[in-house]
């Protein structure tokens, strides 16, 4: 059967890249262990402030799944429609054998940054025909580099534990070497102690004690708390987009071999996440002191709330005024003292994006 004629059972998730809510709980999607051959499909529509989030060619997607039996998968979903920000992933036949509730997270990565999009869940119901299937716990990643990173992290943990055990052994040896015979209890006192039935723990007391939290259980809870805290704090770091060439108008070009570029960055402020545009490089051309020359036009989504006015450096050191209006026009308003520079720098420009 061709892909065009394949029948899909799709779970469609509409995600907004935001720090307000990292969990996605509805609707409740369920698949079956008989949804084989890639027919069980997850579809993610990624938005930013209720607008489709375009994904550049440098973007990649990852998804982590924690199955009901403890199995873990780290896979690479497909960016199906980069302009609409749509990502898809079809569950494999092996993954469908792990019936029960599935906890999952979706991530989007760029070469120098990454972002957790959302945590979500779905269910795999065991079909009656599969009632005798007993899947084993699986740990799976899609690339050798991810296996290397996984094994290295485990080796690092073992090295730390072994180093701690060696330190404890050294401390015990030092303590043992410092012992003197006079420090130890005499045999008569020792026998009197062992025969005292009132000061020793009873079987019932031992059972009650064994029911208390174990070291392993406490460590597991501590590890989860650390992981959750890291995910939470990572959501407050600033996100930087890639550098993009400024769309120059005719008659203007790169100045001083320093391409004029801009990028968007998202900054966590006490008023929430805000987006800013920052610039670098220089523009060469004819700059007349009294003319408002349109040097470039910034695209929608990178323009200021209100007209931006600022000063820019120039090759002759006199500088000049630059304006960026709400319709995106980047204007050379004037230059100092009729200097008429041959190029103007952009590194001083920074404004909040409004449209």
CA–CA distance, 127 with 135 (Å, rounded to integer): 14
Is residue 337 scored above 60 in pLDDT? no
pLDDT of 145 reads: 64
Q: What is the mean pLDDT of the chain?
A: 83
Is it true that the peptide bond before 27 is cis, omega within 30 degrees of 0? yes
pLDDT of 2 reads: 53
pLDDT of 304 reads: 96
Is residue 120 scored above 60 in pLDDT? yes
Could you tell me what percent of the chain has a pLDDT over 70?
82
Other beta carbons within 10 Å of 200: 11
Q: Which residues contact 79 (CB under 8 A, 6 or more apart)?
A: 55, 59, 60, 61, 86, 87
Please give the average per-residue pLDDT across 321-331, as a whole number: 90
Is residue 333 within 8 A of residue 327, CB to CB? The reply is no
β-strands 72-75, 30-32: how paired?
A: unpaired
Q: Which residues contact 261 (CB under 8 A, 6 or more apart)?
A: 243, 244, 245, 246, 279, 280, 281
Is residue 32 scored above 90 in pLDDT? yes
Is residue 129 scored above 70 in pLDDT? yes
Q: What residues does 64 pair with on adjacent strands?
A: 74, 105
354 φ/ψ angles, rounded to the nearest 5 degrees: -120, -25
Is residue 251 scored above 90 in pLDDT? no
Please give the average per-residue pLDDT across 235-257, as a whole number: 88
Is residue 50 scored above 70 in pLDDT? yes
104 CB-contact burial (10 Å; exposed 0-12 / middle 13-18 / buried 19+):
buried
Is residue 183 scored above 70 in pLDDT? no
Please give the average per-residue pLDDT across 182-189, as a whole number: 69
């Amino acid at each position: 059967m061709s892909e065009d004629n394949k029948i899909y059972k799709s779970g469609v998730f509409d995600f907004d890249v935001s720090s307000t809510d990292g969990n996605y709980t509805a609707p409740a999607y369920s698949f079956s262990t008989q949804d084989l051959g890639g027919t069980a499909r997850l579809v993610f529509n990624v938005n930013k402030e209720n607008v489709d989030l375009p994904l550049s060619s440098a973007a990649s997607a990852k998804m982590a799944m924690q199955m009901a039996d403890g199995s873990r998968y780290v896979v690479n979903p497909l960016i199906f429609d980069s302009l609409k920000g749509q990502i898809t992933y079809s569950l494999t036949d092996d993954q469908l054998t792990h019936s029960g509730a599935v906890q999952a997270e979706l991530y989007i990565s760029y070469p120098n940054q990454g972002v957790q999009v959302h945590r979500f869940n779905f269910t795999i119901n065991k079909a009656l025909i599969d009632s005798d299937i007993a899947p084993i716990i699986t740990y799976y990643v899609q690339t050798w580099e991810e296996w290397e990173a996984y094994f290295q992290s485990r080796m690092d943990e073992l090295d730390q534990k072994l180093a701690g055990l060696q330190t404890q052994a050294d401390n015990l040896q030092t303590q043992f070497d410092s012992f003197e015979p006079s420090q130890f209890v005499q045999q008569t006192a020792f026998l009197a102690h062992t025969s005292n039935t009132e000061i020793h723990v009873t079987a019932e007391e031992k059972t009650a004690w064994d029911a208390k939290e174990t070291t392993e259980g406490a460590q597991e809870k501590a590890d989860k708390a650390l992981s959750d805290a890291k995910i939470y704090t990572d959501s407050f770091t600033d996100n930087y987009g890639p550098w993009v060439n400024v769309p120059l108008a005719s008659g203007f070009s790169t100045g001083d071999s320093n391409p004029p570029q801009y990028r968007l960055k998202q900054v966590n402020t006490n008023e929430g996440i805000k987006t800013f545009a920052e610039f670098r490089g220089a523009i060469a051309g004819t700059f007349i002191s009294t003319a408002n020359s349109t040097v470039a036009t910034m695209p929608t989504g990178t323009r200021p709330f209100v007209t931006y006015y600022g000063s820019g450096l120039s090759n002759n050191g006199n500088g000049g005024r630059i304006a960026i209006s709400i319709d995106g026009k980047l204007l050379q308003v004037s230059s100092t003292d009729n200097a008429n520079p041959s190029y103007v720098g952009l590194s001083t420009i920074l404004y909040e994006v409004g449209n």
